[in-house]
Structure 1
Amino acid sequence: MTEELTSERARAAEWFRTLRDEIVAAFEALEASHDAGPYAEAIPGTFEVTETKRRSDDGSDAGGGLMSVMRGGRVFEKVGVNVSEVYGTLGERAQAAMAARKGIPGMTEDPRFWASGISLVAHMQNPHAPAVHMNTRMFWTPHAWWFGGGSDLNPCIEYDDDTAHFHAQQKAHLDPHGAEHYPRLKDWADEYFYIPHRNRARGVGGIFMDDHCTGDWEADFALTQDIGRAFLPAYLPLVEKRRAQEFTEADRETQLVHRGLYAEYNLVYDRGTKFGLETGHDANAVLMSLPPLAKWI
């Protein structure tokens, strides 16, 4: 069913890299243009780019990617934009996890896999500017393929108009693929980005999908691309509006406590974190999403 997807896999990996380049350029431009308000006198941040490697159990090359991280900028306290393309064979624990999610036949007989994607998390200097998460990915085995991902907004100080703008951009990019997608993916995000042990959502939601395979690769890839394309117009205007806003020590305290929620979710529930660590990908890249500072009360 899926052995013939070699060129499609190459196209997906190239798209994730292209999206990464666009976002990195936009974020560095945002840093350079921040000339008023808190942190305006700081040196503009730039991304430090590191190649990452995945090794198979026998030590052979199993792919890798680029980890791009900016720390201590004018606008971003820490932001990472990672891309990866990894392959090999799934270990027993990963096989079991995939089988439970997809019911994939034949994984124990042929546990080969390939995966590529982009993953982004931004933690901001100004507490009024919202943190954000975005990822999109493609996963392949000889028995199945699917896409996943989305983006969600994580403000520590919520503004209704910011939330409305973020969601409106998601809807505008999804509606051309069918009016059913946005409400379904919004509900999925609300369910997925929920922290049961805190009885609350991680943020103000967004869109999310996983295990998405209609059997039409071109249509599913186009949907995944537009999830990625929605990110910058959904997010950049919010940062531009909030980055120069004055804030207090109490606002900073609120931000640090909210980051604790984010860290709890990513370490306890996030599928991408679990998959990355279980399949041997670079731990620094997998844990890039964690905030630079956080507090618990």
Structure 2
Amino acid sequence: MTTGYDTEKAQAAAWFRSLRDQITTAFEALEDGFAAATPPGRFEVTPTTRDSGGGGEMSVMRNGRVFEKVGVNISTVFGTLGAPAQKAMAARGVPGMAEDPRFWAAGISLVAHMQNPHTPAVHMNTRMFWTPHAWWFGGGADLNPCIEYADDTAHFHAELQAACDAHHPDYYGKFKAWADEYFFIPHRGRARGVGGIFYDDLNTGDWAADFAFTQDVGRAFLRAFLPVTERRLGTTASAADRETQLLHRGLYAEYNLVYDRGTKFGLETGHNPDAVLMSLPPVAKWY
């Protein structure tokens, strides 16, 4: 049985906050560096609470020069899992949930929807989850262009592969395949984007090694995403490009509301719904 882990929990929560700060600083610098008639966007930070224990912070930028909407949320929550969440955990092989359903979780979740249809939307999250019976890490990142460029896709995947290869030669192939499966939209018969990596239930028995890997996934994000964004900022977008973007956002919204594990878990465990649904685009269309 796994008990305690108070030091490890504190380290993980502090890292997710540090990563949030690194990303929001880089995104505001990107806003400053792109010449436009409108003011550069800035993040608005709002505390969030969970009635049953814990909370976090929403950092959201709207109507910037580069980002139409981007959220970088952190949270640290704890309490007792309800029956649906207990059932889901038991189905994933977590023992003893009926006897002791306490949990603790901390993480960072990012979704960016861009102004220019030629710059891809993106998602990234990493987290640590603990129960008295087990602990694990999870997360990943995936790129969601409405207009795909092969060199952007290649660059994004190369940076994630480098982060994976530094820890285990099998990680990239395994976690890329998992992302391809996880980010697939069955009712549309297609993926929501061009993939990336996804992992969950990561517990090799070496907490420090698994935490180090999760940190490196977080560090790889800016290296993977910023160059892709910067090379497309000056691309002229047509009205047809905007229409393509809005329809693709509808696809993204469908996935997040119907299939996404994080959305389901957040709503089922009583977290702030605005924070849980931060991932939804500001404007979208359907046929």
Same fold (TM over 0.5): yes
Alignment of 1:266-285 (within 5 A): 266-285=256-275
What do the CA deviations read for 1:183-221 (whole angstroms, capped 9, x no partner)? 111001000000000000010000000111111101111
Alignment of 1:97-112 (within 5 A): 97-101=88-92, 103-112=93-102
CA distance in 1, matches of 2:277, 2:158: 30
Paired residue type of 1:154: N
CA distance in 2, matches of 1:198, 1:158: 18
Identity of aligned pairs, percent?
Answer: 73
DSSP 3-state at the match of 2:213: helix
CA distance in 2, matches of 1:104, 1:261: 32
Matched, 1:74 2:70: no
**Aligned match of 1:95 in 78, 86, 90?**
86
Query: Displacement of 1:137 after TM fit?
Result: 0.3
CA distance in 2, matches of 1:105, 1:196: 30
Query: Displacement of 1:4 after TM fit?
Result: 3.1
Give the corresponding residue for 1:59.
none
What do the CA deviations read for 1:51-88 (whole angstroms, capped 9, x no partner)? 000012xxxxx000000000000000000000000000
Give the corresponding residue for 2:215.
225
**Aligned match of 1:84 in 75, 86, 92?**
75
Matched, 1:263 2:253: yes
Matched, 1:199 2:195: no
Give the TM-score of the pair, scaled to structure 2: 0.99
Matched, 1:138 2:134: no
DSSP 3-state at the match of 1:139: strand
Give the corresponding residue for 2:119.
129
CA distance in 2, matches of 1:223, 1:162: 24
CA distance in 1, matches of 2:60, 2:166: 33
Aligned length: 287
CA distance in 2, matches of 1:2, 1:283: 30
Query: Displacement of 1:246 after TM fit?
Result: 0.7
DSSP 3-state at the match of 1:137: strand
Give the corresponding residue for 1:44.
40
Give the corresponding residue for 2:24.
24
CA distance in 1, matches of 2:94, 2:71: 32
DSSP 3-state at the match of 1:197: coil
What do the CA deviations read for 1:210-255 (whole angstroms, capped 9, x no partner)? 1111111011111111111110000000111111211100000000
DSSP 3-state at the match of 2:2: coil
CA distance in 1, matches of 2:166, 2:221: 16
Query: Displacement of 1:91 after TM fit?
Result: 0.7
CA distance in 2, matches of 1:163, 1:176: 20
CA distance in 2, matches of 1:174, 1:100: 27
DSSP 3-state at the match of 1:188: helix
What do the CA deviations read for 1:266-288 (whole angstroms, capped 9, x no partner)? 00000000000000000000000
CA distance in 2, matches of 1:4, 1:249: 56
**Aligned match of 1:160 in 143, 150, 169?**
150
RMSD after superposition? 0.6
Give the corresponding residue for 1:215.
205
DSSP 3-state at the match of 1:230: helix
Give the corresponding residue for 1:33.
33
CA distance in 2, matches of 1:81, 1:155: 19
CA distance in 2, matches of 1:189, 1:105: 26
* Runs of at least 5 residues in structure 2 that lack an aligned partner in the other structure: none
Paired residue type of 2:51: R
Query: Displacement of 1:2 after TM fit?
Result: 2.0
